[in-house]
Structure 1
């Protein structure tokens, strides 16, 4: 079973940002492209503990609240959750970037790696992390 983390950000999590975040959080891991370049897989020997889908721009105001309804939201250290994403918020009027990161079920450390990667990306892109159901950061 895999678990999904999502980074929501006001700045684009470009390939460069993703790679910089990977180097910060997993310097001993390798990476490769999959799904015709739409996914970056983090490789540890024969295992793929983490997979990153390339980001999508969500342009419909309020759509992020609908998609992330009930999610546990975590902000990188030193920052807070934007007011638009709190229970009282009404969604962002500006477009937001959506980046999905998956920890694969066969890797015992996949969850910790995915969480660290997501928070590193969120810190670089003025974002927050939607945690998988039942997870806390």
Structure 2
């Protein structure tokens, strides 16, 4: 009999606690369900997006670094090319000046000696001389 009274009293206490805590329990289950159904997947998706953006940023940063290195190397190549072109132009100018001096000296000697080949023959010789110096 005491067991039945104790069971009945325990059931009444449990029923009273269950009826008062049932709304809180339902709210907790709904909140947990919303968390696992809505919020958690969105957080996972956002983490994946962030990882993808970080990888894209790293790729872009590496590309910019490579591009800067390429630009610096190209700048050095352009400077060397310009210096080589200037040196070649200076050398060509010096050759032309030497050829002109030689031509003038030959013309002066030919006039003094009365050489008839001062005209076209001398021009052909000078042209051959210039071709051999290139």
Name the TM-score, length of structure 1 as normaliser.
Answer: 0.22
More strand by share: 1
From the CA coordinates, give the structure whose radius of gyration is larger.
2
Name the TM-score, length of structure 2 as normaliser.
Answer: 0.22
